[in-house]
Structure formats: structure tokens, C-alpha cells
Structure 1
């Protein structure tokens, strides 16, 4: 009986793999990856990239100081906006389940130049985000190890996290998948345990404070304050796209990846909101945070609630979250770089497209996703402020990459594209696509909005300037090297081609006579 069941399961897997290989071949590719990533591992990859603990713990103090407790509602608003983006991506990945995510999607929906710029912006943003995550983990690891927090200690600990993440990725898809599931389990359990413990032992407020700004807006309209505080939500809700970056490592990707993307939004968003709620209700002196007297309310709470030993245990869970987040980011960045290399679209393609047959990973693309972030982290030794300026681009770059795909999808729809994958929105496709684009534009404007009038103009517009610099460098590169034209792989094939009219030749007098006869 068990043997028959195993044969049936293995047969089903074989059928899926054959179908997946045939679908990929119809798109012009033969994959070297192994489809070893289960549905839950794929979801866990997206969840650990989104990482509720990392996002909330990093920005909680800023958001509470800017907008007071009502800032928590940004999680709901942004979650709905990013769900629209995830639905658009779901239709695209179901039709084009190709490794690399936004780059191959933009290539099929629009063309080579648009795809090259989309991938360039997103790759730079990913590499910078990896640096920001490991650098953010540095002080936490320093505390656990008993180091005095300093620039040198933070850099050392950040490099340790980066090396561990790289080793896990180098061990292959199975180890990456297992590590993602472990990271998800540790993070969700940690978030629930810490959240419930804070609510049971440290709660100082009722739910009514979620509508009380405590005067955080000052002389401004509260909308202005809420928009600034809402960055905690905007910076939280990305990571679902990582599920699609590894599309060639997931069986039946047209069905499973769209599910994983939506689960990432639902479960990740719910976990982030719960963690934030527990922290808000447990901060004893909210006016002190708003006034800048308590700049580390999370550390204060953890030490009060768990003591020095318990706080270190919680910090250990937080570190697992940071490591899992960095690991997922590296996986996404390496697959994107490999996708570029496979299509000969960038300098170094000869190395980036190399593949390890034994480990089923692109080793040089992974090294790129380790070396560049390491250089950025080491750069903080020269200027921490310079590092902050570089990192300012990270979230804008990811959102910009998203919206370039959303815009490409909208353009393709208007030109006749009919999604043909296993996941389709049907009549809701166009309104969802338009809604996703409107949301993304508003979010990017919010990120770029100048909020430090006393600072020099270049600091006040640092997010916008950093985005402009990355786009200009990419444009110059495209003009000089023209890598986008090196590949003959399919592009701009989502839009149906108009049938060519047959040329009408002039009729000769002899042909007229023949017809009359």
C-alpha cells in the first residue's frame, strides 16, 4: 500500500518536473537548477526576506516618534497596496516562471532595454539592502557576544553575518530551503512569544491609544506626520517577489509561487502588525519617545520584560531573523545576476552564468552578492554618513524596480496581452494593475519627500538623488557597453503580434484579359 502511494507521489512529481521543463523550454530556456524547494520553503524564503522582526525592530522608534501610535495603521494601508502588486506579479510569474524575477518579467512584457534598466535598478537595490541588513544586525550580534558597540565592532559582526549567509547559500537549494524554513519558524515563534509576553506583563495602554497621536504632528497636519511614520509600513512589505526569483527551483511554479507570494503578504503583514501592536501598547512613556528622550524603546522594553539574560535570548532570535533575511536577499540577488549572465546582458556574464553542477547554484553570482555588500559595509569605516546615504536608495530602488514591472504589465495589457499562466485575475486584471501602479507612485513620492528642512539640500533630497544617480549610471552604461543588445533570447513577446498584411501587387493588362477570358 505504502509502496503504491510512494510510486504515485513520485510519478506525480515526475509529471510536474516534465511539465515544468517543457514550459521553460517553450520560453527558450533549459534550467540547470534542481526543483528541490517545497511550497513552504518557497513561502519561507519570501517571509524571511520580508522579515517582520527586522523591519519592525529597526524602524519602530522612528515611526513612533514621527506619528505616535496611529502609525500602526500604515501596515494595513501598505499591505493592501502591496497585495495589488503581488497579484500582478502572480499573473506574470505564472506565465513566465524564469529565474531572476523582475528582469525576465520586464523582458517579456516590454523589451530588452526596459528589462536591462529594471534589473539594474533592482540588483543595485538588493546589493545595498543586503549591506543594510547585515550592518543593522551588527549591533545586535555585538551585544550577544559582549562587545562594546562601536563602528569596528559593528563592521566585524556585520561581516560575520554576511559570511554565514553566503556559506548557507553556497551549500545549495536544499540547505537554503531548510534554512529558510528554520528562519521562518524561529521568527514567527519568536514574534508570537515576545508579543504575547509583552502584552501579558508590560502592557500599559488600551487599544484606544491607536487613535491618539500624543501630539506627534506638532504644528503640522497629522497627515504629514502619518506619511513620515508610514515609512515603517512601506519599508516592511517587500520580499514576496523573492518567491518568484527562484522560479526554476520550485515544482509547479505557476500554481505554487502565486500562493507563496500571497501568503507572504498575509502572514508577514499580520506578524509585523502584531509585533508592532505589542510594542506600542507596552511602551510606558510614549511622549518620551516622541520628544527624543528615549531613542531605543525596543531595547528598553526587552531588558525590562526579560532581564539581561532573557533579552539576550530574544536578541538571539532577532539575529536569526537578520541572518535569514540576508540569506534570502542573497538568493534573490544571485538569481537575478545569474539571469543577466545567462542572457549575456552585463559585463562579467561569462562568470555570472557559470553554474556549479554539484551544488546546483551559480557560484560567481553568489560571490557578487557577498563581495559588493561587504565593500559597502567596510565603507562605513571611512564614513558612516556615506553608508547611510548609500542605503537611502535601497527601498526606493526596490519599489522602482517593482513599478517598472507593473507599468510594463499595464502597457502590455493595453496592447493586447492576455495572461495565459495557471494563475489569472481575469476581468480584475486591469483594475488591479492600475491600482498597483497608483499605490506604487504614491509610496515612492512619500519615500522621496524632503523632511529635514534644516539640513543641506542634498541631504534633504538624498533618496531622490541616490535614485537619480543609479539611473544615470545605468543609462550611461547602456549607451557605452550596449549589453542589452548582446542577447537574442526572446523579448517583448507577451504582446500579440499584429498579422502582417499581404502586399497588393499592381494588376497587369494581360492578367485582366486572362480573368475576362
Structure 2
């Protein structure tokens, strides 16, 4: 697509929804796909959760990945329906604001903001403590990990501010490296097992150290707990929708990226899990290891391969964090230009030189730095764990919204559309999201994360109440035009007068 066509498309799409185009439309189809795939990052997800899987369910727990894949793919199909019709930064915030009302949209936006900012801290802190420090032979030290996390946050913010195109290129590189190395590692592991005999296909059905667990099949027990491997990994695919105003031909590229990233990550992740599990020579030893994936690599392929793995994991971590920061900045920008976010007059500003929202990008950076300084160690870990709940809740609300408004949605020629399958897909997706939330809150150690999630929702409720009392008109209006049939009776333009910031 030529630059002239891209600019025309940007103007047309933005004008349709009542906005002046400010962001630069530079992301091609693969780069849009890379945004979602980099956020999912199967290498990072499996690297971080495989040890928990071995301890709770044994190697056989890898098959729960397929359940999570099927459920998340259904959610992705529903989200793609919205992305094809409302390709705006802010994703679920925009969809709910325009198809329900701005109050509902604000709730979606706040949940997404909380999810992205906690996810950013989770990714970068894990990158520092579990990947970079072992890679450079640094002794485990939480304070050092926090310093490294701050440095990583600063670099990511600088890149996100400099250029959306640069972010897209970096993510594309990260995705290419990750996919290539995972496929190569799976093949190498299986060949090593075949040649040496160290490892066994029987591992795929083994309960390992959990064989005598009394609560293995119980509610919240070992087998149910390992569902978090898929649930914590196969998330963030809607990030492509959050970058829709910077994507070329967004009605087609964004929905395809959302669905394609889940499908590709799901297949690649299952291959990786099978390769790792078959390559386990001593289940008890690997389970007791601080980093089971690295241990398997070292045992089967030697120490140099372990180092290569850590480098690749670091690249994947960095790409995922960069996408998370960029997506978080876009949700802040989207809510701020509608005057529904604290300090909105500052947060909606876009640099005329870089065409990126600089203050909105600095905000997640500042929150991350402050968190690294003031939050105690245990609380930080719980905060990171709490981030897994936010996407599950948000996905459930998005699917519910779709079931409520689906008959009012228009049909855009050439855009992604499920047709007659939309209702059964959405119903099953809703059932799945309810199950996912139950799974995540069922373990006994989930109490603190639930409290943290509740606290962040309460904090948002305070600001929401302030707007209802003192800035009610902001939640009564919506720019642009409807994207569904019928006449919209609501006011569509914001009042001209700017109210005071908080």
C-alpha cells in the first residue's frame, strides 16, 4: 500500500468515527501480526510456567494447553468481529463506548489499562530476574533485578516514543527469531532423544512427582491449577486491535492478526511442550530444577545451547514488554482524547515529529519505575500474578457485549466475519471465559491476587464516581458516527468547552 493510499485510509477511518488522524499508519500485515504474537510469546510463557506445571500435575499436564488454545481461539474470533468494524486505538474501550454507552466503555478501558500496566511489570521483571541475570552469570538478587527492570523500561519507552514503525520492525525481528529457534530446538531435542535414548515418549502420560497427590483431580487441585500455563500465555492477542489506527487496511489486517496469532502460538507452543517433555531424562531432577526448560536444554544439547536459549528468551521478553508498553500507551491516549482519563489534556498529546503519544507512553514507564522502588518483594510478586486475572475478566465482558449488540452490527464488505457461526462461537466463548476465571481464582494461594485486582478496580471506581458527579457530560457523549444500523439518538460530539484536569 502506498503512503498516499495509507494517508487516505487513515483519514477516512478516523473521520468515520469522529477523530482527526494523528497517529502514523505504518504497520503492514506481518507487523500487525507480530504485535499480537510478540505479546503472546510462547517461549516466554512456557519458560516461566513449565516448572509450575511439572510440580502440580507432572508432564501429562501439557495437554491442558489444547483446552486453553481452543477456548482462547473462540475468544479471539469474537474479538476479531469487533476489530473488523471499529478499528480504533483503545480496542474494547472503543467497542463498548460506541455499542453500549461511554460508561460501560470506561469500565472496559480501565480494566484493559490495569491489565497492560501490570503485564508490563510482569514481563520486564521476569526478563531481568529469570533471563538476563542468569545469562550474565549474576547471582540472584531482587534489588539488582529491579534496577535492570527500570533500565529495560527506559529503553522500551524510548523506542516506543521514537517510532511506531521501529516498534513494528523490532517485534517482527523478535517474532522471527522466536519462531525459528523454537522450531529448531524442538527438532534438535527429538533428534537427541532418538540418538541417545535419554528421554521417553512415555513422559507425555506421566504424573511425575504429583503421582501421589491427594488433590490431583480436586477443584483447585494440581491438574486444574496447570491450566494457568495456557491461560497466562495465550493472552494479549487483542494488542493488534489496540494499534489499529497505525495499521494499514485495518479492517482486514487486524482481525486476521488476532486470530492468526492465537492459532500460530497455540501450535508452536504445543510443539515446544511436547519436545521438552519427551526430552526429560529424569523427571524428579528436572522438576526440582530452578529452571526446568534450561536444564532440559543443557542435559540434551549442552551448555552452549542453554545460553542460546536464554538469548532468544531475552529477545522474546523484550518484544513482549515493548508491545505491552505501546498498547498501554494507546489505551491511555484513546481514553484521554475522549477526556475520560486523569490528566487527559496532557495524555492525549501526540508529538508532531514522531507521531506517537509521548506523555501516554511515559505514564506506564513512570508507574513501573515507582512500583520497582516502593512495592515490597512479596507484594510485587502478587501484583504480577494478579495481572493474569485482568485479561480473563476483560475477555468475558467483551464476549458478553458482543452477544448483546451483535444484531445491531453492520456487515462491512471484505471485512472479517463469522457469518452464521457467530452466535454459537460467542456462546461457547462466554462459557469458556467464565470457566477460565473460575480456574484462576480456585487455587488457595490466589487470595492476594484477587484482593489486588479488586483494589485496582476500586481505585478506578473512585475516578469513575468523580466523573459521574463533576464531569457527567464526558460520559454522556461520543464522537463520530454509529457503526451499526438504525438511528442513534445520543449526542455524538463533545462539548466545546474543556473542563479542568485532575
> What do the CA deviations read for 1:434-483 (whole angstroms, capped 9, x no partner)?
1111111100110011334xxxxxxx512322222222222222112336
CA contact (8 A) 2:19 2:479 kept: no
Alignment-derived partner of residue 316 in structure 2? 321
In the TM superposition, what is the alpha-carbon distance from 1:490 to its structure 2 partner?
4.0
1:427 maps to 2:420: yes
Shift, 1:19, TM fit:
4.1
Q: After alignment, is 28-37 or 157-166 more displaced?
A: 157-166
Partner of 1:486: 474
Partner residue, 1:505: none
- Whole-angstrom CA distance in 2 between matches of 1:120 and 1:204: 50
2:335 aligned with 1:340, yes or no? yes
1:339-358 CA-to-partner distances (Å, cap 9, x unmatched) read 01111001110111000111
Distance 1:295 1:145, change over 3 A: closer
Which 5+ residue runs of structure 1 have no aligned equivalent? 1-8, 453-459, 501-517
> Deviation of residue 288 (structure 1)?
4.3
Shift, 1:235, TM fit: 0.6
Per-residue Cα deviation, 1:271-319 (whole angstroms, up to 9, x for no partner): 22222222211222223455xx334322322333454444223211111
Q: 2: CA distance between counterparts of 1:302 and 1:164?
A: 30
For residues 40-95 of structure 1, give each alpha carbon's deviation from its aligned partner in whole angstroms, at most 9, with x where no partner exists.
01101111100111100000000121111222112211111111111111111111
Decide which moves more: 69-78 or 417-426.
417-426
Matched, 1:403 2:396: yes
Equivalent residue in structure 2 for 1:160, among 141, 144, 151: 151
State the TM-score, normalized to the length of structure 1.
0.87
Q: What corresponds to 1:43 in structure 2?
A: 33
Please tell me whether residue 190 in structure 1 is matched to residue 176 in structure 2.
no
User: How far apart, in 1, do the equivalents of 2:452 and 2:296 lie?
Assistant: 35
* Candidates 262, 265, 268, aligned match of 1:265: 262
Q: CA–CA distance in 1 between the matches of 2:229 and 2:488?
A: 49
CA contact (8 A) 1:65 1:289 kept: no
Report deviation, 1:409: 1.3
| Mapping of residues 78-477 of structure 1, within 5 Å | 78-139=68-129, 140-202=131-193, 204-214=198-208, 216=210, 218-222=213-217, 224-288=221-285, 293-380=288-375, 383-413=376-406, 416-421=407-412, 422-452=415-445, 460-477=446-463
Counterparts of 1:379 and 1:264, CA distance in 2: 36
8 Å Cα contact 1:68-1:213 kept in structure 2: yes
- Alignment check: 8 A CA contact 1:112 1:485 kept: no
Q: How many residues align?
A: 477
Do the aligned partners of 1:412 and 1:495 also contact (CA within 8 Å) in 2?
no
Find the residue that maps to 2:387 and give its secondary structure: helix
What do the CA deviations read for 1:318-345 (whole angstroms, capped 9, x no partner)? Answer: 1111100100111110100000111100
Listed one character per residue, the Cα deviations across residues 186-235 of structure 1 (whole Å, up to 9, x for unaligned) are 11122122222222225744434323323626112436422111110111
CA distance in 1, matches of 2:110, 2:271: 35
Q: CA deviation at 1:264?
A: 0.3
- Whether the 8 Å contact between 1:102 and 1:402 is mirrored in structure 2 is no
Q: Is contact 1:128–1:376 with CA below 8 Å preserved after alignment?
A: no
The structure having more radius of gyration, on CA atoms, is 1
Structure 1 position 160, deviation (Å)? 2.2
| Cα-Cα RMSD | 2.2
Question: C-alpha separation between the residues in 2 aligned to 1:180 and 1:238?
Answer: 16
Q: Matched residues in 1 for 2:389 and 2:488: separation?
A: 40
After TM superposition, the structure 1 stretch with the greater mean CA deviation from structure 2, 116-125 or 309-318, is 309-318
* Kept after mapping to 2: 8 A contact 1:74/1:230: yes
Gaps of 5+ in 2: 490-502
Counterpart residue number, 2:492: none
Whether the aligned pair in 2 keeps the contact of 1:36 and 1:249 (CA below 8 Å) is: yes
Range with greater deviation from structure 2 (388-397 or 20-29):
20-29
**Counterpart-to-counterpart distance in 2, 1:222 and 1:444:** 18
Q: CA deviation at 1:152?
A: 1.8
Q: 1:491/1:225 Cα in 2 relative to 1: closer, same or farther (>3 Å)?
A: farther
SS in 2 for 1:222: coil
Question: How many Å separate the matches in 2 of 1:428 and 1:20?
Answer: 31
Distance 1:195 1:485, change over 3 A: farther
1:486 is paired with a residue whose SS is helix
Equivalent position SS for 2:210? coil
Q: Which moved more, 1:79-88 or 1:267-276?
A: 267-276
Secondary structure in structure 2 of the residue aligned to 1:461: helix
Distance in 1, Cα, partners of 2:79 & 2:126? 29
TM-score (norm 2): 0.89
